[in-house]
Structure formats: C-alpha cells, structure tokens
Amino acid sequence: MIAYLNRGIAYARKGSRERGIADLRLVIEQDPTSWLAHQELAWILATCPADLLRNPQHALALATKACELTKHQKPSCLDALAAACAATGAFPDAAKWQAQAMESPAYPAKDLAAAKTRLDLYRAGKPWREGGH
C-alpha cells in the first residue's frame, strides 16, 4: 500500500488530483488505519480549486479520523482539519486547529509563513484553496 500512498500524494501534488484521490481511497479501503492517507485525501477534498472535486463534509470526516488516529499529535493532520473546517464554513474551528498546529514544536519552520496565511484567511472567514486565491 505504501506505493499507492506515495503515488497518490505525488499525483495530487503534481495536479493530477483525480488520480491522487483514487489511489488514496484505495489505501484507506485496504488500510483504514493509515493516518497519512486520511490526512492527504482530506487536504485534497478541502482545498482543491476545482469545485467538482471538493467535498468539504467528506474532508472533515477524513481529517477528523486522521487526528483521532494520531491522537491530535501530528500538526499536518491538524492543518488538514483546519482546512476541512474552513471548507465547511466553520471558520472559528478552522482558526483554532490551525493555531494549534502552528504551536506544535513538530511544525516545520519552513511552512510557518504559509500556515500564517491560512490562519489569517480562516480568521477573515475565507477558506484556503490550493494554487492561491
């Protein structure tokens, strides 16, 4: 399953989101405990610029599961949960989870500026979309 996980992530990051979604769904089907597959699929479904691919409610369920699987200890899962909350219009929750992710000592310093941008958007009542706004 690691090959499908890696390929799904690669597809999504290169813009082939449909293919990435398919691979990540397969991983989750075969390994329901893969927090990374849950997190990555949640991120795509919450932040995809294409309306037809975005599915905020499913993103929220997936991100919640990723956080449960990691006991809310992975900042990347909290990031995905924040994005999913924002996609559903729950902006106070989105800001809360984004801030919590950023407070983690495990949060990559190189990603803090982008995280701050997302936090500011959530506080302004706007969702994050991949590829900018």
pLDDT at 132 over 80: no
Alpha carbon of residue 110 to chain centroid: 18
Q: What is the mean pLDDT of residues 27-56?
A: 97
Locus of tokens 């990555």: 40
**How much of the chain exceeds pLDDT 70, in percent?**
98
Task: Share the mean pLDDT of the chain.
Answer: 96
Second-level CATH architecture of 2-123: Alpha Horseshoe (1.25)
pLDDT at 99 over 50: yes
Can you tell me whether residue 14 is helix, strand or coil? coil
Domain residue extents for the chain? 2-123
Half-sphere exposure in the Cβ direction for 35 (13 Å, CA): 16
**Tokens of residue 101, six digits:** 């992710």
